[in-house]
Amino acid sequence: MIAQNSLQFIRNVFRSLSNGKLIGKINHVAIAVKDLNKSTNLFKILGIEIPKAQILPNHGVNVKFLNLGETKMEFLEPIDDSSPISKYLSKRNGGIHHICIETSDIDQVLKLLKQNKISTLTETTKIGAHGKPVIFLDPQDCNGVLFEFQQI
């Protein structure tokens, strides 16, 4: 039942991408890495400006956002072993961690999630790396994909 609800919700989310109502564009794709500098070097070679790393102690990561036209790639390096990214890397050798989608009304998204019994990783929104409210969906309800919704 939950899988069917999540599939319908995901279909509705991506259907609304085209009409610009509640859901907007993909803001960024986040990649978990063991070494920020080594991981972003490919993009430096290709002429992409590499910003200085931001330290986000509340999230347990060092982060670099690379601007790629209409979207960004976020590289996440754990600060220490208690970081969620460190736990992710202990099971994998890096890779896509999550996809962030913009929303014009994160409270409405949260309401729709609850109505459709789609689990989130926290009960309420928290402030994300861009200083805006975010909510993460439970990957178990989204075919193994970790989605983040960010207020724009």
138 pLDDT exceeds 60? yes
Residues 6+ apart with CB under 8 A from 99: 26, 28, 29, 30, 145, 146, 147, 148
pLDDT of residue 89: 98
pLDDT average, residue stretch 105-134: 95
- The CATH number corresponding to 2-151 among 3.40.50.300, 3.20.20.70, 3.10.180.10, 3.30.470.10 equals 3.10.180.10
Delimit the domains of the chain by residue range.
2-151
> Amino acid identity, residue 33?
V
Q: What is the tens place of the pLDDT at every residue in 47-99?
A: 999 999 999 999 999 999 999 999 999 999 999 999 999 999 999 999 999 99
pLDDT at 17: 45
Residues in the chain: 152
pTM (2 d.p.): 0.85
**Backbone angles phi and psi of 81, in degrees to 5:** -70, -15
Burial (Cβ within 10 Å: 0-12, 13-18, ≥19) of residue 141:
buried
Interatomic CA distance for residues 106 and 100, integer angstroms: 12
